[in-house]
Amino acid sequence: MALYHTFLCNLLLGSCCVGAVHTTGVINREAAGDLDTVVSKIAHNYPRKLPCPEDAEILPCVCTFDENMHMDLNCSSVESEDQLATILGSSFPFRNFHKLIIEGNDNLVVLRAGVLGSTTYEVFHIIDGVLEEVESGALSGSYSTATEMMFYNNSINSFPWQEMLLFENLHTLHLQENNITRCPKVKSKSLKKLDLARNPFIYLPVTAFSDTPTLQEVYLDGIGLQELSAGTFFTLSELLMVNMSTNQLTEVHEGAVQFNNSGRHQVYLDYNNISLVAVNAFSGFNSSDEIFLNNNQLTLLEEEVWQPVLQQGVTLYLGGNPLQCGCEIAFIILNSTFLGLIDNSTSCSDGELLVNLDPAIYEQFC
């Protein structure tokens, strides 16, 4: 911020004499006061929106600059790929932007290599459009600056996955709701959040995330997933959350979801067709962790499967399953701690809530 103050003051000294004398008086009168207030007055009266370029030079793109030193470029209204290349290929007084915004645009199909010219960005926000391809090299100018990439709700089927390792500070990648038909092999030493939801690639290789050691959140909901291989997540020592809801899973195999850190974990498997969960399907869980299995086809809660999970203090969400409530669940009903870890909406196939079942019946008849 100090550099910004100096920058504005220097600009002022280079302006007309009357303005300089007037503003110097302001600075002298308020030198012992709040410098931010003085800078705000100067910035408000100065005619150019530095560090942004002149409006006419970048139309229909719009540049904005805020008090947090964030300079954003909104090119949502560009009329063609050529126009975007012309605008971004022009000379900018300052080239390091915080965010590039292209939202709801029906003209940009390919983000070409070199289209961004010499500009760099921390955040890419290119969403709700018709973008199909991000060419290799299109984002290369931001290898060292990019922290977030949001490319969701487009039609992307080609993305420069081979370059992900070059983005030194990238921590968030949103590519949900595109047309990625094959699970990418992502390599990154910094990525923490990866969202690939609602892409039709169905098959998830066991090594899909083996080269993303810092990953904490993975979203794979609605991808048509039919099977989850054991060990898929085991190498991710920082993983905290996996969302695999709204898929076509029928079984959770042994070793399917393994954690190996002491954080708070959440696993979402709602709205699948799961009828079978193997012993040791879930391991490495801690107290206060949560497993969501709402709206599946579970009929049995086998003691050998679920007692080890409940003993770890994991909360289970099992609403919308056709559960049998005979003696096979006595180990839950007769253990108040276990029963307290079952979500209150969980019911038997006849609709009766587990929390309303009479323990005396299970004591007498089981």
Query: Do 73 and 36 share a domain, yes or no?
Result: no
pLDDT in tens, 248-302: 999 999 999 999 999 999 999 999 999 999 999 999 999 999 999 999 999 999 9
Does 235 reside within a domain? no
Contact partners, residue 346, CB within 8 Å, separation at least 6: 316, 317, 318, 319, 321, 323, 353, 354, 355
Contact partners, residue 246, CB within 8 Å, separation at least 6: 221, 222, 270, 271, 272
**By residue range, what is the domain housing residue 29?**
1-47
pTM of the model: 0.85
Query: Do 38 and 65 share a domain, yes or no?
Result: no
Question: Is pLDDT above 80 for 30?
Answer: no
Does 361 reside within a domain? no
Does 163 reside within a domain? yes
Domain count, the chain: 2
Beta strands in 275-333 (DSSP E): 276-277, 282-283, 290-292, 315-317
Q: Which of 161, 179, 197 is the last residue of a domain?
A: 179
Task: Name the more confident of 17 and 65.
Answer: 65
Question: Is pLDDT above 60 for 23?
Answer: no
Query: Do 71 and 102 share a domain, yes or no?
Result: yes
Among 62, 126, 118, smallest CA distance to 94 is for 118
Angle of helix 35-45 versus helix 17-30 axis, rounded to 10: 160
Does 317 reside within a domain? no
Q: What is the CATH number of the domain that holds 146?
A: 3.80.10.10
Query: Do 70 and 140 share a domain, yes or no?
Result: yes
CA angle 184, 164, 220 (to 5 degrees): 40
pLDDT in tens, 98-110: 999 999 999 999 9
Q: From CA 76, how far away is CA 104, in angstroms rounded?
A: 7
Structure tokens at 280: 């040791």
pLDDT of residue 38: 41
pLDDT of residue 5: 43
Q: From CA 63, how far away is CA 72, in angstroms rounded?
A: 6
Does 266 reside within a domain? no
Query: Do 24 and 135 share a domain, yes or no?
Result: no
Question: Is pLDDT above 60 for 72?
Answer: yes
pLDDT of residue 90: 86
> Are 215 and 190 a contacting pair, CB within 8 Å?
no
**pLDDT-above-70 percentage for the chain:** 87
Query: Do 17 and 120 share a domain, yes or no?
Result: no
Lowest mean pLDDT among 42-46, 115-119, 196-200: 42-46
pLDDT of residue 42: 40
Query: Do 122 and 60 share a domain, yes or no?
Result: yes
Does 323 reside within a domain? no
pLDDT in tens, 33-50: 454 444 344 444 444 577
CA angle 144, 150, 152 (to 5 degrees): 150
Based on C-alpha coordinates, what's the Rg of the chain? 28
Q: Which of 125, 160, 179 is the last residue of a domain?
A: 179
pLDDT of residue 34: 52
pLDDT in tens, 292-332: 999 999 999 999 999 999 999 999 999 999 999 999 999 99
**pLDDT-above-90 percentage for the chain:** 83
Does 284 reside within a domain? no
Mean pLDDT for all residues in the chain: 89
Query: Do 157 and 69 share a domain, yes or no?
Result: yes
**pLDDT grade for 11, boundaries at 50, 70 and 90:** very low
How many distinct helices (H) and strands (E) make up the chain? Answer: 9, 18
pLDDT of residue 37: 46
**pLDDT grade for 21, boundaries at 50, 70 and 90:** very low
Does 233 reside within a domain? no
Query: Do 139 and 26 share a domain, yes or no?
Result: no
Region of residue 31 (left: phi > 0; alpha: psi -120 to 50; beta: else): alpha
**pLDDT grade for 18, boundaries at 50, 70 and 90:** very low
Query: Do 29 and 88 share a domain, yes or no?
Result: no
> Are 278 and 254 a contacting pair, CB within 8 Å?
yes
Strand partners, 64: 72
Q: From CA 299, how far away is CA 325, in angstroms rounded?
A: 9
Question: Is pLDDT above 50 for 197?
Answer: yes
Region 214-238: what's the mean pLDDT? 95
> Are 332 and 354 a contacting pair, CB within 8 Å?
yes
Q: Which of 133, 151, 179 is the last residue of a domain?
A: 179
Query: Do 145 and 59 share a domain, yes or no?
Result: yes
Q: From CA 196, how far away is CA 184, in angstroms rounded?
A: 10
Region 49-53: what's the mean pLDDT? 85
> Are 156 and 179 a contacting pair, CB within 8 Å?
yes
Query: Do 170 and 120 share a domain, yes or no?
Result: yes
Region 185-202: what's the mean pLDDT? 96
